[in-house]
Structure 1
Amino acid sequence: MDPRDIELRDIEIFLTLSDELHFGRTAELLYISQARVSQVIRKIETQVDGKLFERSSRNVALTPIGRRLAEDLHITYRDLRAGLGRAARAARHGEDGLLRIGVTSSSLAEIRPLLKIFEAQHPNCSVHIEHVHFGNPFGALRADEIDVLVSWLPIEEPDLTVGPTLYEEPFMLLVGADHPLADRESATYEDLADYGVFGAGTDPARQPPDYWQSAITPFTTPSGRTIRRVVHADNFQDAIMLVAAGKAITPVHAHAAIHYARPDVTYIPMPDAPPARWALIWRRGGETDLIRDLAAIAAAG
């Protein structure tokens, strides 16, 4: 297959169909006819000499060849669009450009020293900060809406690069003010087995990675007791209301005790919990001079 024979629009049509698995919806989303979608798919299938989709009157499904091609082209297409976006931003903001930083934490205090050094070294670079929701932490990064993300570890995403660690903070246990644990000076993972904790939320668009959920709250205690998931929440505001009502308890990052202090909840130290580590994250292959400079400053401490 000669890549010179594939047009950018053809790639867009193929990738949209691989996501939607519906010719009609693909045509509507791209403002083209279904016949045009079919024509492009036949063209690519001829070039790869293999079927990309299994089609019936009711279902459309990717073949193994189609799935592999979709995975490869998603990365190429995303990087191409990101490159064009960076060029456009450089044209708008001048040679020093723009650095867009997403932050999943509720606090900027820990990264202010890093930002001050970076801005002093790049006085003509515009730095934009925006909050990124825990439920979809990598969406903005993958969509090229931000350049770099400040997020807590672990990160187990093959398309993302984990940069230097920025800081650490302890975990605390969030309980209702009248909860039996509220008067304790500290709590352990063993305490979690005595009460229900939060499971994954019900909104598929706001689902944190599975490995984050188990990193915050393991499924068993060190002694092997089960830690039950009894309620769900799609965001922290809902979670803290359920905690205040006595429906569940949950470990949280320590900065929550500052930014979400309320009279109806209590934060208890968890000395047996390993600290949460926060690091710089960026798209693999999307590293820029500005990202490299920011990472170098962070690595230097």
Structure 2
Amino acid sequence: MPDLPVRELECLLVLAEELHFGRTAERLRVSQSRVSQLVAALERTIGTQLVHRTSRRVALTDFGADFVERVRPVYTELTDLVGGARREARQELPGPIRVGFQGIAYETVTWTLTRFARDNPDVTLSLQEIPLGDPFGAVLSGRVDAAVALLPVREPELSVGYVFPPAPRMLAVGHSHPLASVERIDAETLASVDLVSIDGPAPEYWRDVHFPRFTPLGRSITATVRVATLQEGMTLAATGRYAMLTCRPVAERNQRADLRFVHVTGFDEESRMALIWRSAHRRPHLTKLAALLGELPGAAPLRAAPGRATVA
């Protein structure tokens, strides 16, 4: 069996994030020339160019980008496995459970985390906000162990451990907006508004649900602005020029004098959030956390088969 170029793979994965030889060298604590050597060695091993290098910029080749996308989850799983084995061998305490969340960590989440921490005093919990426009990236890359994110999720590497109760769709508008005086609208009315969209690498199937380009009957929806965070979207909606599609829990927690929330009907499904994790890295404590969430009224745990997260 040929030697696995672990150091070279690590170097490529860091370079793919930084796209800068100097910053990559700093993270790996090596020289820039060593970074170049490692990348060149990996290219020789594979037999093709992985990185475009010029005096001004660094970019992955098409082959390199595809290779990184396939290698990253395998490399992360391998390093996690080795780290877990080392802890077990040394009888160390388990590492922190890192949970990401989109926008707002609701009371149901924070209360459950508080109970989990009380029942598992040997485990440290860490909460991190994840980008609104990248619901699954932090989980797939291993930056968090699990995430509370909006469904649907159809990534083959992810599983769903718990589904929160469905929530009605709401449209956030400013008090001067033409729709501010109505209680509810049909989804077809979205063709008459300028709907806030998002920046980020969210999958198209996910984006089409939460930041749709068309109404259910196929009418085009205008979207001239993009935001990175929920609060940016709410601020734009408050101006009265734009509208942001969201859900009732967000509306209830963002009551302010310059915003109105209008109930939107006509979609096939209501908004839902779920606790998701990597199928190949379901730590026992995550299962415990999902079980605690499952004790909340109104919903039950839902476990997808490993490698087949297809919850719509």
Both proteins in one fold, TM over 0.5 = yes
Aligned to 1:215: 209
Secondary structure in 1 matching 2:246: strand
CA distance in structure 2 between the aligned counterparts of 1:181 and 1:119, rounded to whole angstroms? 44
Q: Mapping of 1:168-247 within 5 angstroms?
A: 168-201=166-199, 206=200, 208-247=202-241
C-alpha distance after superposition, 1:153-208 (max 9, x if no partner): 0123333322231322111111111222212121121211122111334xxxx554
Matched, 1:266 2:260: yes
Deviation at 1:23, TM superposition (A): 6.0
Structure 1 61/227 Cα, relative in aligned 2: closer, same or farther at 3 Å? closer
Aligned to 2:130: 132
Residues 111 and 166 in structure 1, CA contact (< 8 A), matched pair in contact too: no
Q: Mapping of 1:23-38 within 5 angstroms?
A: 27=25, 30-33=28-31, 35-38=33-36
Residues 7 and 38 in structure 2, CA contact (< 8 A), matched pair in contact too: no
Q: Mapping of 1:73-222 within 5 angstroms?
A: 73-83=71-81, 95=93, 98-111=96-109, 114-115=112-113, 118-119=116-117, 121-201=119-199, 206=200, 208-222=202-216
TM-score, normalised to structure 2's length? 0.75
Deviation at 1:123, TM superposition (A): 4.8
Report which of the two structures shows the higher radius of gyration computed on alpha carbons. Answer: 1
* Bigger shift: residues 115-124 or 287-296: 115-124
C-alpha distance after superposition, 1:203-253 (max 9, x if no partner): xxx554443332124322233322111333332222222222211112212
Residues 105 and 131 in structure 1, CA contact (< 8 A), matched pair in contact too: yes
Q: Mapping of 1:244-263 within 5 angstroms?
A: 244-263=238-257
C-alpha distance after superposition, 1:68-109 (max 9, x if no partner): 543443223222333456578889996465423222242422
Aligned to 2:270: 275
State the AA in 2 paired with 1:295: A
Residues 90 and 97 in structure 1, CA contact (< 8 A), matched pair in contact too: no
Deviation at 1:143, TM superposition (A): 4.7
Matched, 1:290 2:289: no
Structure 1 76/253 Cα, relative in aligned 2: closer, same or farther at 3 Å? same
Deviation at 1:149, TM superposition (A): 0.9
State the AA in 2 paired with 1:292: T
Secondary structure in 1 matching 2:73: helix
Secondary structure in 2 matching 1:6: coil
> Structure 2: where are the runs of 5+ without partners?
301-312
* Bigger shift: residues 19-28 or 138-147: 19-28
CA distance in structure 2 between the aligned counterparts of 1:47 and 1:261, rounded to whole angstroms? 57
Secondary structure in 2 matching 1:82: helix
State the AA in 2 paired with 1:283: R
CA distance in structure 2 between the aligned counterparts of 1:129 and 1:93, rounded to whole angstroms? 25
Aligned to 2:307: none
Deviation at 1:122, TM superposition (A): 3.3
CA distance in structure 2 between the aligned counterparts of 1:161 and 1:177, rounded to whole angstroms? 41
Deviation at 1:280, TM superposition (A): 1.1
Residues 188 and 215 in structure 2, CA contact (< 8 A), matched pair in contact too: yes
Aligned to 2:61: 62
TM-score, normalised to structure 1's length? 0.78
Report the identity percentage: 31
